[in-house]
């Protein structure tokens, strides 16, 4: 009887150790957020405030953060996991989607903040050259915008509005009033800084 009880106790201890180890592994996996991004303040655009900007340029509106102890601030460099909230309502209209943040971590060190570029030679600026090569615009116009500048790429019947840090703010396609320029640039007349004919090999 004593031997049987001893074996039973050993079995229970082994089961507890196995459970604790498995639980620990699960916690480590759960704590690691996967997606790199930056926090950027879009206050000044109608109805917008802080948004998450992924490294591919997508802008996401943080409608819900599960970590109540985390406070978003302009310029933060973060890692996160999220789910898209299909039915979320927004008045900002500049975001690709509204999201629920299920995991978020602040990356230690100085935030990575892109330089605000003022130029009339877009082929000398890395992100502008990349857009020219990938989108092949017929022309680019430069505008005053907030505390810096904005650039409109004219690609066929489409206009792409970027801020001076290379973030795509707005996209408009079709004839009629250009909604992007009307919303963000207050009727300004832009300055042409690029024409495709000037760069025939691009």
23 is a domain residue: no
List the 191-195 sheet strands across, edge first.
Answer: 168-173, 158-163, 148-155, 139-145, 191-195
The owner of tokens 């907030």 is 146
The owner of tokens 């100085």 is 110
What sign does the dihedral 62-65-68-70 (CA atoms) show?
negative
160 is a domain residue: yes
Number of separate domains in the chain: 2
**Higher model confidence: residue 114 or residue 93?**
93
In the listed set 51, 73, 106, which residue is the last one of a domain according to the structure? 106
131 and 194 fall within a common domain: yes
168 is a domain residue: yes
194 and 131 fall within a common domain: yes
Looking at residue 167, its pLDDT comes to 84
Alpha-carbon gap, residue 100 to 66, rounded angstroms:
7
Chain segment 135-184, per-residue pLDDT in tens: 999 999 999 987 789 999 999 888 889 989 888 888 888 766 677 878 78
Q: Which domain holds residue 79?
A: 35-106
84 and 141 fall within a common domain: no
19 is a domain residue: no
pTM above 0.75, yes or no: no
- The yes-or-no verdict on residue 12 having pLDDT over 70 is no
CATH number at residue 55: 2.40.50.500
Instruction: Assign 31 a pLDDT band (cuts: 50, 70, 90).
Output: low
């Amino acid at each position: 009887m004593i031997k049987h009880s001893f074996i039973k106790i050993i079995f229970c201890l082994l089961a507890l150790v196995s459970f604790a180890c498995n639980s620990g592994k699960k916690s480590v996996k759960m704590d690691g957020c996967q997606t790199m991004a930056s926090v950027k303040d879009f206050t000044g655009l109608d109805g917008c405030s802080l948004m998450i900007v992924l490294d591919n340029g997508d802008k996401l509106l943080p409608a819900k953060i599960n970590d109540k102890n985390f406070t978003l601030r302009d310029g933060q460099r973060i890692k996160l996991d999220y789910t898209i909230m299909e039915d979320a309502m927004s008045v900002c209209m500049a975001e690709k989607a509204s999201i629920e943040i299920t995991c978020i971590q602040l990356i230690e060190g100085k935030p990575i903040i892109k330089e605000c570029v003022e130029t009339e030679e877009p082929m000398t600026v890395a992100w502008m050259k990349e857009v020219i090569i990938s989108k092949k615009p017929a022309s680019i116009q430069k505008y005053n915008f907030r505390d810096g500048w904005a650039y409109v790429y004219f690609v066929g019947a489409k206009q792409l509005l970027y801020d001076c840090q290379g973030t795509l703010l707005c996209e408009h396609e079709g004839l009629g009033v250009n909604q992007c320029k009307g919303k963000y640039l207050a009727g300004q007349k832009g300055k042409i800084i690029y024409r495709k004919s000037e760069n025939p090999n691009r």
